[in-house]
Amino acid sequence: MEKSELERETVDVCQQLVRFNTVNPPGNERPALEYLAGYLGDAGFETELLGATEQRPNLIATLSGLAPGPTLCYLGHVDTVLADPSEWRHDPWSGDLADGFLWGRGAIDMKSQVAAEAVAGCALARAGWRPARGALKLVFVSDEETGGELGAQWLTRNHPGKVRCDMLLNEGGGEVFEYRGRRHYGVCCAEKGVFRFTLTAEGTAGHGSLPKTGDNALLKLGPILDRLATTQPSFDVTEGPAALLRGLGEDPAAPEAALQRMAASAPGLVPLLEPMLGVTLTPTMAHASDKVNVIPSRAYLKIDCRVPPGLGEDDARKRIAEVLGDGGTDTHIAFDETVTGNHSPVQSALMDSISSWVAANDPGAVAVPVILPGFSDSRWFRDAYPDCVAYGFFPQRHQSLLEAAPLVHNADERIDVRDLGFAASFYTDTARELLG
């Protein structure tokens, strides 16, 4: 299929997907997944819908090879976060084409990638291609936006044999960015861990009209918030961040100096790349008295703490203490959620294939490892299949990282239509190269 045809078909499939309202909750992903099952089945894929609930299934589509070999999986989710149409220039479920973009909720996260993966698979299958070895598996799931309990997590735990794979491509990377005169495409090789905690300050209650009669716990949070706002924890440059810095031509042993150079030459990158280099502490919720006339005896902060892959609770506590000190006898912390980060090796046959494709399709550009500060379904596959190499990669040559990142989960989400064809050609070429 010509690249122009590939782009047109990917645009059409993405429009169809955006028009399914799959806001999670409630999700209601079945109509979208039935559409994809029909589309892939007509092209020659074996398809199966499996789910914990009737309205929220998951699709497994397989193109089996002519001989035993590795399984390459293209993964994607069809659920989205909510959208308020009053905040948008185009209806979030319209799939409108305007100004060179396809508009709608999920246009970036991640119905665009699902469309590109599906169209690539169908283009290959309709042309008569079958893997010379192994299999191409397309897995499109529900429920990623709320953790995957009914989606990828459920599939890998309840049907591990059906979605087992050796190589996996998912969301989390691929948007181009420029640094020091060179174009870079990030390949997401890891995800940070979550070590959320509650910081509680203790005091003594009293009447609001007599402020000196109590020991106001809320006031004790002020200096803590100030330190969280102004103090940067020391960096922890593990394997993934080190590879990123080397890929950018920087010294992994001097992350502070690298960030200073970045701030001078490409300041927009700093808020996106700095969190990859160490522990982050973000206060997101606070609570004190339940009544306006009662001095609170207890006040607390909820803090979203993210920790680089390879590090755990001890490392989190070390950086928390570095920022907040010992807190004294009036404050204490308790972890509410602890999930260690996950990662795949930064060197692999899949990385070589991505790097070669980038060099061939955007001469002078390079692929570099990046770390996802958030969460994706790659985690469940890395947990279930320790030998699986899982990366996030959806190449976008025309809509840069600085342009795309602010649109995720935001109003006016949209994608450059040229990148839909660009990505579909990547998934087509990669399947041929890795599976023969």
Write the CA distances from 88 to 16, 30, 236, integer angstroms: 19, 26, 39
Nearest to 343 by CA among 318, 369, 306, 317: 369
**For the residues 121-146, what does the mean pLDDT come to?**
98
Do residues 77 and 138 make contact, with C-beta atoms less than 8 angstroms apart? Answer: no
Same fold, 3-179+343-435 and 193-236+278-339: no
Buried residues in 323-344 as b, exposed as e (16+ CB within 10 A)? bbeebeeebebeeeeeeebbbb
Positions of E strands within 54-107: 58-64, 71-77, 97-98, 101-103
**For the residues 386-402, what does the mean pLDDT come to?**
98
Which residues have a Cβ under 8 Å from the Cβ of 290 and sit 6 or more positions away? none
Nearest to 3 by CA among 95, 125, 116: 116
The per-residue pLDDT of the chain, averaged, comes to 96
pLDDT of 14: 98
Query: How far is residue 274's CA from residue 123's CA, in Å, rounded to a whole number?
Result: 39
pLDDT of 4: 86
Query: How far is residue 226's CA from residue 333's CA, in Å, rounded to a whole number?
Result: 17
Question: DSSP letter at 396?
Answer: B
pLDDT of 310: 87
CATH architecture for the domain at 3-179+343-435 = 3-Layer(aba) Sandwich (3.40)
Nearest to 411 by CA among 16, 116, 113, 107: 107
Structure tokens at 425: 């050609």
Q: Residue ranges of the domains in the chain?
A: 3-179+343-435, 193-236+278-339
Backbone CA torsion sign across 360, 62, 113, 408: negative
- The Cβ-side half-sphere exposure at 108, using a 13 Å CA radius, reads 23
Q: Coil, helix or strand for 74? A: strand
Kindly report the CA angle at 394 between 236 and 54, in degrees rounded to 5? 100
pLDDT of 2: 80
Q: Crossing angle of helices 349-361/417-435, nearest 10°?
A: 130
Query: How far is residue 51's CA from residue 56's CA, in Å, rounded to a whole number?
Result: 6
CATH architecture for the domain at 193-236+278-339 = 2-Layer Sandwich (3.30)
pTM score > 0.75 for this model? yes
231-282 pLDDT, tens digit per residue, is: 999 999 999 999 999 999 999 999 999 999 999 999 999 999 999 999 999 9
**For the residues 8-22, what does the mean pLDDT come to?**
98
Write the CA distances from 50 to 21, 141, 342, 364, integer angstroms: 20, 9, 26, 43
**For the residues 398-421, what does the mean pLDDT come to?**
97
